[in-house]
Amino acid sequence: MSLLEVADLHAHYDKIHVLTGVSLCVDASEIVSILGRNGSGRSTMLKALIGLVPPTAGSVRLAGRELAGLLPYRIAKAGLGYVPEERLIFPNLTVHENLEIGLKPAAGGRPPWTIEQMYAFFPRLLERRGTKAGNLSGGEQQMLTLCRSLLGNPSLLMIDEPTEGLAPKIVRQLVDVMLEINRRGVAIILVEQKMTVALQVAHRCLIMGRGQIVFEGSPQQLRENVDVRRNWLEVA
């Protein structure tokens, strides 16, 4: 049994059918990158998995437990973490206070992540620990959002477009941290527009188009499949 099993997932925005039958699985300690053009349904899929967009049909199972239809806080408590593209930090709280809000007990006897580990991942956050989060740069806010979600001790972490608009140095730092998180046993779903980043970190790549998964394969298979890239990723 895979850690996450999604079967025939559908979701709507009013009358617009955005997810039209998504099925995928993620194994424990695996990084799965999800690519696709804007409007393909990638971000909506993450929001449906975490419960922010209620699925209209389908199944979402994490470690065998059905999550579809649960409230977001119950889904998070079950072990599914979410790093939103919008970041959604608490701007009037300090960096350290934002991290404290993220602290949750670890399940299954696993050692919990600590704030000290987050500061070790991103020393810049330690330097800014007393700064209000609203005064951070975009890259610093992305670091903070990732760390706050990780402190919830998820077994699977979903990360939506973490490198958007960031300098190459910050992107490299985020990539290194994602790889280290995964080495320490956390599975990751990464929605990423930059194919170089997606291929660098992934064990497996999926492409979404028209609200469905239209390709699944290794990074090397995606590199070699010119037709798939042309039909589902490249902009004419």
Asked if 46 contacts 24 with a C-beta cutoff of 8 angstroms, the reply is: no
Domains in the chain, number: 1
pLDDT over 80 (residue 235): no
Q: What is the mean pLDDT of the chain?
A: 96
SS (H, E, C) 43-84: HHHHHHHHCCCCCCEEEEEECCEECCCCCHHHHHHCCEEEEC
CATH number of the domain where residue 205 is located: 3.40.50.300
Phi, psi of 115 (to 5 degrees): -60, -35
Tens of pLDDT, residue by residue over 56-106, are: 999 999 999 999 999 999 999 999 999 999 999 999 999 999 999 999 988
Rounded distance, CA 144 to CA 98, Å? 8
Mind spelling out the 3-state secondary structure of 101-162? Answer: HHCCCCCCCCCCCCHHHHHHHCHHHHHCCCCEHHHCCHHHHHHHHHHHHHCCCCCEEEEECC
Q: Is the pTM of this model over 0.75?
A: yes
The pLDDT-based confidence of 236 (bands split at 50, 70, 90) is: low
Domain extent at residue 150 = 4-232
